Amino acid sequence: MNKLFIATKNNGKIKDFKGLFAKYDINIISLLDLDDSLPDIEETGDTFEENAAIKAETIVKALNIPVLADDSGLEVDALNGQPGVYSARYAGVEKDDTANLHKVLNELEGVPKEERTARFVCVLALAHPNEPIIFKKGTCEGTIVENPMGENGFGYDPIFCPKGYNKTMAQLSSQEKNEISHRRNAMIQLENWLKNK
């Protein structure tokens, strides 16, 4: 079975990727499978592309193997695109999903339904030693609901209602999320690029 290294410490992303790669019989390994010898990667970029590149390049340099990195987040139109690249640490450095989503809900208090539009964005960076990085982007449009609903997924999934659905991303099964998500849409771009290479 082939292996693919994904430069992430986020269990929710790893679960999504395991589902997305299942049809290829590819075994996903991640930063969570390594010991603690690699220092935490500082995401100092202003864009998803910059942060995805930082994560991918750091691990390619450390391990000298091909690496996929994912930088992603939620853009809320009524908040001028925030939390955006700061999605993981919107309510503070300790990466608290519940605090983050409540911060978004508080900031949207009183904002009517039709103005609560938002999208998830995912930028994938595929890096090989001594080769230019490939970037592919996927989005998923939707709206922010008023109260968290659902137990699946991670991050802002309980407050994000995908366009055309009457439930939140966290009320969808993992398979259903993987049919419509920003991560899956970025994966399709990457698959098409790899096929035509």
Ligand X SMILES: O=c1[nH]c(=O)c2ncn([C@@H]3O[C@H](COP(=O)(O)OP(=O)(O)OP(=O)(O)O)[C@@H](O)[C@H]3O)c2[nH]1
Binding residues: 8-13, 42, 71-72, 154-157, 177, 182-183
When asked if residue 116 is in the footprint of ligand X (CB under 6 A), the reply is no
How far is Cα 172 from Cα 137, in angstroms, rounded to an integer? 22
Among 21-29, 65-73, 105-113, 144-152, which window interacts with ligand X (CB under 6 A)? 65-73
127 in Cβ contact with 62 (< 8 Å): no
How far is Cα 48 from Cα 15, in angstroms, rounded to an integer? 20
One symbol per residue from 74 to 113: x for binding Mg ion (CB under 5 A), - otherwise; what is it? --------------x-------------------------
The long-range contacts involving 171-177, CB below 8 angstroms and separated by at least 24 positions, are 174/15, 174/16, 174/19, 175/19, 177/16, 177/152, 177/153
Work out the burial of residue 45: count CB atoms within 10 Å of its CB; fewer than 13 is exposed, 13-18 middle, 19 or more buried: middle
In the complex with Mg ion, the residue whose CB is nearer, 38 or 194, is: 38
25 tagged catalytic: no
Among 18-26, 108-116, 126-134, 151-159, which window interacts with ligand X (CB under 6 A)? 151-159
Catalytic hit among 71, 77, 96, 97: 71
Q: Identify the helix (H) or strand (E) that includes residue 128.
A: none
How far is Cα 19 from Cα 137, in angstroms, rounded to an integer? 18
Two tokens at 81? 């695109």
Among 17-25, 56-64, 108-116, 152-160, which window interacts with ligand X (CB under 6 A)? 152-160
Count of residues touching ligand X (by CB under 6 A) = 22
- Interface contacts to ligand X, rule CB under 6 A: 8-10, 13, 43, 70-74, 87-88, 100, 120, 153-157, 160, 181, 183
- Interface contacts to Mg ion, rule CB under 5 A: 88
